[in-house]
Amino acid sequence: MKVLLYPLLAQVALTFVVMFRMYSARVAEFKEKRIHPQSVPTRAAFREKITDSANSADNFSNLFETPVLFFVAIMLAYTMLIYDPLLLVFAWMYVGCRVVHSFIHCTYNTVMHRFYAFAASAIVLLALWVRLGWLIIQ
């Protein structure tokens, strides 16, 4: 049962990895461009001046969108004491797709490659929810 929490922890770890990447890129950009933090008090101002770390920042924000449904599904299964090997497979597949998506987004950022990884993660997430729903209503 506890094994279902491992992919959840991996997804959390991915979020922190991207966060640290974003912060390190931002600090480097602030130093390189000699930007005073107070000169970018809003997101709009920030986007105008800070461009090098935008991909990591966008990916970090993205990690709080559909992954929320992943976290809810895993916690729901865990609290309802639902364990199913297929749920575990879907959970790891989802995390794998999100790792690939984040890697693409934070590095070379080819949009169609990123889209395929995102679409795959969305399909796996849907499958996870369909399976979980099926197990709940049985």
Q: Which residues of 9-38 are buried (b: 16+ CB within 10 A; e: fewer)?
A: ebbeebbeebeebbeebbeebbeeeeeeee
More confident residue, 57 or 45: 57
Residue 1 has pLDDT above 80, yes or no: no
Quick one: pLDDT band at residue 99, thresholds 50, 70, 90?
very high
- Percent of the chain beyond pLDDT 70? 100
Residue 69's nearest CA partner among 20, 21, 16, 130 is 130
The domain ranges of the chain are: 2-137
Cα–Cα distance for residue pair 53/73, rounded to 1 Å: 31
Mean pLDDT value across residues 88-102:
98
Question: Under CATH, which number does the domain 2-137 receive?
Answer: 1.20.120.550
For tokens 């749920």, what's the residue?
A: 87
Q: Measure Cα distances from 108 to 44, 55, 114, 120 in Å.
A: 24, 9, 10, 19
